[in-house]
Structure 1
Amino acid sequence: MEHHHHHHHHGEISGGKLLFSVVLNLVITVAQFIGGIFSGSLALLSDALHNFSDVMSLIISYYAHRLSHRPQNLRQTFGFKRAEILAALFNASVLIAVSVYLIVEAFNRLIEPQPVASTWVMVLAALGIVVNGLSAWLLHRDADRNINIRSAYLHLMGDLMTSFAVLAGGALIYLYGWYWIDPILSLLISVYLIRSSFSIVRASTGMLMQFAPSDVSVDAVMETVERFPSIESIHHIHLWQLDDESVFLEARLNFHDDLKLSEVSEIVHDLGHALEEIGIAHTTFQCETGKTGREAVSASCHHH
């Protein structure tokens, strides 16, 4: 016997905000890239590279966000919900690669410091602060609810901090001629990026590998089932996460007695509600009686 319990929760996130952030960041990237070349500032170039990776991440996030809202069909039975997790994984991985490259460049610059035109650096860093601040502010409310938006938001916050650092660096070069501050900033920015990206790589990989979600334990499932005296045991448990919101449980339930289908249906329905309280929205149970499970009641019951 199968039981389906569906509970839909839509974290509606505005794709328009993402699109607006893309345009803003594209402008700043081009400006900082040109400025970085003219001023000879590695920190400004690394900021431009950040911003470019931001633009890429925002475009991917926007497209994945639209994909994930497409309805499911007979071939894509889960819809495209995993698109956002793939986007988050890809973005974070690219950021790590970019950061490693910048670290190497920064070390080269520390060995042979290069002169930097500080006025350019300060003006463009200030522009970066305005644009990234505005974009991050647009996305911050949705960042908690969605790993894909969170990866885009992290990019923006990283950029905001970077722009502040680059502005301060430009000021120090302008006042004291400390050219070495430029590669040092580039190093710090890159290390920060690697750290923040790594946590996203870990979380998104966990979902793609169908690991049990961190906030719902198999023990909690067992404890919930134990509250039902008519159920002898639960086994063959599979617990996984489709995306940020949907947790799925699939298991076999062994009943003490050979109950009528209507009675089993009622128990399973109540169990579905109890499991919803610990964060499991979708449940599928195969119900059996007797230790071997051979005398399984084979019928199907759907509950929405």
Structure 2
Amino acid sequence: MAHNHPHTAVGNLKLAFFLNLGFTVVEFIGGLLTNSTAILADAVHDLGDCFALAQAWYFESLAEKGANRTYTYGYRRFTLLGAIISALLLLISSFYVLSVAIPRIIEPESSNAQGMFALAIVGVVVNGVAMLRLSKGTNANVRLVALHLLEDVLGWVAILVVAIILMFKDIQILDPILAILITLYILANIVRQLKNIIPVFLQAAPSSQDVTEIQKKIGHIEHINGVHHLNLWSLDGEHTVLTVHLVAEKNLTPEEYAQVKNRFRQIVDDFGIFHSTLEIELPDESCRLEESHF
């Protein structure tokens, strides 16, 4: 069976990043030179993928380091910060493209169809090469980036089609229309991304986990008489963290204590929880959190 070693994944991400970054610069320059808002819009799309690739590359490299005294949960949560920054930059860029493209719907301007055609060919090749390199990976993070690059390939195919039409027909309105469609697609992705990120950032319980069911299962553990202060959140949208206080029905023997912990571990594993912290309180023991009115 083939294995996707970490250094291979990082190497592929590094290559894809520099290919994408270099070509994004070419896109912005080419979009201005060809007077094509569609190319500028796709440059914004590729800029977003540059951020996605940079984050994937950086955090893939950090993954092996794990936790330390400063970041005791590791670096997984940094992806949220990077995603929010990327979303804000893409919002600014997208509104700029719309401010240029919308007036051209009313008063179309001529675009250099031959230049658009040449850039589109290069765009399909560059993004296609990067996509093929990453699509061979087994890492979920790498495969997700490969899907982003597939979207880029399809976007450049659309620009290629419009360029061919403009080479034979003077329908200049097609360029701003395509720019607006690409930008609206980017904005829809940003909104969807933020809807997923914000609850994680605010430490909401993951929608994929049933908190009530987890509490019910834990409450049925033998020798346990109560469950409180159950907290469930996600580090990065994938890795779930659980903390909980259990009240024992009596003073537990070492064997009974071990039984409770083993059963708790089974429940945690069944729900796919990445990290858990358990505190067991004796019947006559007061909870520190309740005393502090937390």
The Cα shift of 1:269 comes to 1.9
In the other structure, the counterpart of 1:209 is 202
The Cα shift of 1:285 comes to 1.4
Alignment CA distance shift 1:144-1:98 (3 Å): farther
Letter in 2 for 1:179: Q
Contact 2:117 2:160 in 1 (8 A): yes
Letter in 2 for 1:36: G
In the other structure, the counterpart of 2:232 is 239
Question: Which structure 2 residue ranges, 5 or more long, are not aligned?
Answer: 289-294
In the other structure, the counterpart of 2:18 is 23
The Cα shift of 1:47 comes to 1.9
In the other structure, the counterpart of 2:180 is 187
Are residue 271 (structure 1) and residue 277 (structure 2) matched?
no
- The structure showing larger relative contact order (alpha-carbon pairs under 8 Å, at least 6 residues apart) is 1
Judge which range, 102-111 or 25-34, deviates more: 25-34
Q: String of CA shifts for 1:219-246, please: whole Å, max 9, x gaps.
A: 2212322442321221111001113442
Are residue 252 (structure 1) and residue 224 (structure 2) matched?
no
Q: Could you state the TM-score of these two structures normalised by the residue count of structure 1?
A: 0.83
Q: String of CA shifts for 1:44-84, please: whole Å, max 9, x gaps.
A: 22222332343344224322332344232222212222122
Q: String of CA shifts for 1:114-133, please: whole Å, max 9, x gaps.
A: 11111111121122122223
Q: String of CA shifts for 1:162-197, please: whole Å, max 9, x gaps.
A: 212211111121121100000000000001011112
The Cα shift of 1:289 comes to 3.1
Which of 97, 102, 126 pairs up with 1:131? Answer: 126
CA distance in 1, matches of 2:139, 2:194: 16
Q: String of CA shifts for 1:246-301, please: whole Å, max 9, x gaps.
A: 211111111222212442132122211222111113221111232x64399xxxxx
In the other structure, the counterpart of 1:49 is 44
Question: Which structure 1 residue ranges, 5 or more long, are not aligned?
Answer: 1-10, 297-304
CA distance in 1, matches of 2:178, 2:138: 27
Letter in 2 for 1:73: N
Which of 151, 154, 165 pairs up with 1:161? Answer: 154
Contact 1:93 1:201 in 2 (8 A): no
Q: Secondary structure at the match of 1:235?
A: strand
In the other structure, the counterpart of 1:109 is 104
Contact 1:46 1:186 in 2 (8 A): yes
Q: Secondary structure at the match of 1:36?
A: helix
Judge which range, 268-277 or 258-267, deviates more: 258-267
Which of 268, 286, 294 pairs up with 1:294? Answer: 286
The Cα shift of 1:216 comes to 1.4
Contact 1:224 1:275 in 2 (8 A): no
Judge which range, 250-259 or 67-76, deviates more: 67-76
CA distance in 1, matches of 2:136, 2:271: 24
In the other structure, the counterpart of 1:89 is 84
In the other structure, the counterpart of 1:58 is 53
CA distance in 1, matches of 2:12, 2:66: 22
- When the two structures are aligned, how many residues end up with a matched partner? 284
Alignment CA distance shift 1:241-1:68 (3 Å): same
In the other structure, the counterpart of 2:291 is none
CA distance in 2, matches of 1:174, 1:34: 21
The Cα shift of 1:143 comes to 9.0
In the other structure, the counterpart of 1:178 is 171
Q: Secondary structure at the match of 2:15?
A: helix
CA distance in 1, matches of 2:98, 2:275: 45
Q: Could you state the TM-score of these two structures normalised by the residue count of structure 2?
A: 0.86
The Cα shift of 1:140 comes to 4.4
Judge which range, 205-214 or 129-138, deviates more: 129-138
Q: Secondary structure at the match of 1:229?
A: coil
Which of 15, 29, 38 pairs up with 1:34? Answer: 29
